[in-house]
């Protein structure tokens, strides 16, 4: 059994990860951390984990991390950038949940994340952990930058279209909605129940930190620079992301070519479900799963293709994808512990 460390186990993403790991046949959570709740057990913070994971929460201690075989860091961005280089010194493989190692261009961090990147050498070295894009590199990786939740839904929706040259690369509009758990467990006024229930709003318009991440990965697939208009929204539900994406198809492309592209790229993907023609993705249908549900419609009046993607932000958008990455890195079947 692989002994696993989970840093930030009390966060929503970390707790989801521990839950998945307790059901994984080849690993066991061994060392789990929290600053605020150290001294308590995880099941005291999350009673639903009673008799499932009763490990003590401890403050982050590198010597204890080094005693583990594999490391997950589910820490806030801005903190991971400082901690991950120290974690790598243990010689163990690391999957980092934050945005701190996702962007290859260090100069983007001040604008989008508000800090100067202190570890640019690790940006070159990290592998963007979206298996449907980078499976071969993930196999050999030592540091995985686990993708953001919004980018996961968007990148999966658009890969076949860009890879096959079926859409224009300068006219992509992403209208995405997330449940409140996407903001993490730390209290904030915008996420206070009376503020967000019975409410629906856009936020960080033209300024969300996932924008350069989406553009970076789409550009790799397209083989040329791709820009997007990305507007996230906060929805009064706990979990789930629904992204509705409007693209313009290139001249001569028809619906059959679009469908053929999706089947070509995703027929053998374990966690992509292409929905039957009459159905559209819904967040409830992927809740608690590592699936991404996809469907598209061609609007012949406007010449636009509308692609809809649904994921669970905490599973395919975070913890499930992290475990999928670990499975690939360890040479295990990719869906181990995830189905």
**Footprint on this chain of ligand NAP (rule: CB under 6 A):** 8-14, 34-37, 60, 74-77, 79, 97-98, 148-149, 181-182, 184-186, 313-314, 317-318
149 flagged as catalytic: yes
Angle between helix axes 149-163 and 210-222 (nearest 10 degrees) is: 20
- In the bound complex, what is the minimum distance in angstroms from residue 117's beta carbon to ligand NAP? 15
- In the bound complex, what is the minimum distance in angstroms from residue 97's beta carbon to ligand NAP? 3
CA–CA gap between residue 12 and residue 9 (Å, rounded): 8
**Closer residue to ligand NAP in complex, CB, 160/232:** 232
Angle at CA of residue 272, ends 271 and 277, nearest 5°: 145
Name the residue with the smallest CB distance to ligand NAP: 11
CA 17 to chain centre: 12
**Closer residue to ligand NAP in complex, CB, 39/333:** 39
- In the bound complex, what is the minimum distance in angstroms from residue 247's beta carbon to ligand NAP? 24
CA–CA gap between residue 31 and residue 33 (Å, rounded): 7
CA–CA gap between residue 174 and residue 151 (Å, rounded): 10
Question: Which of 137, 21, 138, 118 is closest to 77 using CA atoms?
Answer: 118
**Closer residue to ligand NAP in complex, CB, 79/173:** 79
CB 296 within 8 A of CB 127: no
- In the bound complex, what is the minimum distance in angstroms from residue 102's beta carbon to ligand NAP? 10
**Closer residue to ligand NAP in complex, CB, 74/162:** 74
**Closer residue to ligand NAP in complex, CB, 85/163:** 85
CB 238 within 8 A of CB 185: no
Bridging pattern class, strands 93-96 and 70-73 = parallel
- In the bound complex, what is the minimum distance in angstroms from residue 8's beta carbon to ligand NAP? 3
Where helices occur in the chain by DSSP H, the ranges are 12-22, 42-45, 62-66, 80-88, 109-113, 120-125, 131-140, 149-163, 193-196, 210-222, 255-266, 283-286, 320-330
**Closer residue to ligand NAP in complex, CB, 8/29:** 8
- In the bound complex, what is the minimum distance in angstroms from residue 260's beta carbon to ligand NAP? 32
Of 149, 196, 292, 296, the catalytic one is 149
Contacts (Cβ under 8 Å, ≥6 apart) of 287? 239, 240, 312
Burial class (CB in 10 A: 0-12, 13-18, 19+), 295: buried
Catalytic residues: 149
């Amino acid at each position: 059994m692989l002994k696993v460390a989970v840093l930030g186990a009390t966060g929503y993403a970390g707790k989801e990860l521990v839950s998945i790991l307790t059901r994984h046949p080849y690993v066991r959570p061994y060392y789990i951390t929290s600053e605020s709740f150290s001294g308590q057990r995880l099941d005291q913070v999350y009673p639903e984990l009673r008799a499932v994971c009763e490990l003590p929460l401890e403050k982050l201690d590198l010597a204890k991390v080094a005693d583990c075989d594999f490391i997950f860091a589910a820490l806030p961005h801005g903190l991971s950038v400082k901690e991950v280089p120290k974690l790598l010194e243990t010689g163990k493989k690391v999957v980092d949940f934050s945005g701190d190692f996702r962007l290859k261009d260090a100069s983007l961090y001040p604008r989008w994340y508000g800090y100067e990147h202190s570890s640019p050498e690790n940006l070159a070295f990290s592998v963007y952990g979206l298996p449907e894009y980078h499976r071969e590199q993930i196999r050999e990786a030592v540091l995985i930058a686990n993708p953001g939740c919004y980018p996961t839904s968007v990148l999966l929706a658009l890969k076949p279209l860009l890879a096959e040259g079926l859409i224009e690369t300068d006219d992509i509009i992403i209208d995405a909605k997330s449940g409140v758990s996407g903001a993490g467990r730390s209290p904030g006024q915008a996420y206070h129940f009376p503020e967000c229930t019975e409410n629906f709003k856009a936020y960080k318009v033209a300024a969300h930190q996932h924008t350069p991440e989406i553009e970076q990965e789409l550009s790799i697939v397209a083989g040329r620079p791709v820009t997007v208009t990305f507007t996230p929204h906060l929805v009064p539900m706990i979990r789930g992301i629904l992204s509705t994406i409007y693209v313009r198809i290139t001249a001569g492309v028809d619906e059959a070519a679009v469908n053929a592209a999706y089947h070509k790229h995703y027929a053998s993907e374990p966690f992509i479900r292409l929905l039957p023609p009459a159905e559209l993705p819904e967040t409830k249908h992927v809740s608690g799963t590592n699936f991404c549900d996809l469907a598209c419609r061609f609007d012949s009046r406007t010449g636009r293709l509308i692609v809809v993607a649904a994921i669970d932000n905490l599973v395919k958008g975070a913890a499930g994808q992290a475990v999928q990455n670990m499975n690939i890195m360890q040479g295990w079947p990719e869906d181990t512990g995830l189905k």
